[in-house]
Amino acid sequence: MKFVPDYTVIYCDKDIAVLNKRSGLLVAADRYDAAAPRLDLSAEREFGKLFAVHRIDKDTSGIIVYARTAEAHKALSMQFENRKVEKIYHCLVNGRPLWETLRVDLKLQVDGDSRHRTVANQRSGKTSVTDFRLLGVCGPYSWIEARPKTGRTHQIRAHLAENGFFIVCDPLYGGNQKPVRLSDVKRNWHGDGEEEKPLLNRLALHAYGIEFAHPLSGKKMCFTAPYPRDMEAVRKQFEKIFSVDPLK
């Protein structure tokens, strides 16, 4: 098994650290799983004390921004609270949307059922908006871009689910843990089915891009996070087979 580091560094200065995290790491302490591996604890060995200003799901890979000082933490937190930060996610879903773009404006209630899922609730839910764009169709799958305008827990997954779409390998919302295998999409595949390793077998959601103002200088900062190895393998194979590339 190849070693996968907890993160790679996208950018760092004395005020902020922008990291590309692997799937399977919490961004900060979690009340449900105090013993789960954490990105902040791992990265603090390199950067010293880090302050979380936003979160992405444990099983989501991609961009995370940490503040390195209390002053930067306050300024960045205000940007997220006031919705001044642009966030871009890429995901692979099962099925094919009939739309090219879709805005979902639906009140969501976090921890709304016995499985701790985020659910639609027009009465007691909080305002939640996500803009979706179809990036390309690849046989039984579709690449989708999501730009959440609010920051509710599981917002993208919940908004997709309410519209009949589920991210690949999302058992919590889709009830489907089926991995992506080359044999499922490539005609005349002649490998050994028992020996075949999946291209991807975890939640296919990646925090791809982020834009915000530097907390001290005010300069506009724009970053993207390369796909991790598993999503990149899927992207390359799907580009060969379907001539579709979500990055172009």
Taking the CA atoms of residue 156, residue 161, residue 165 and residue 167 in that order, the dihedral angle to the nearest 10 degrees is 50
Residues ≥6 apart with Cβ < 8 Å to 235: 227, 245, 246, 247
Q: Determine whether 57 is an active site residue.
A: yes
Of 40, 57, 59, 230, which residue is the catalytic one?
Answer: 57
The DSSP bridge pattern shows strands 61-67 and 205-213 to be parallel
Q: Tokens 């919490």 appear where? A: 26
Catalytic residue numbers, as ranges: 57
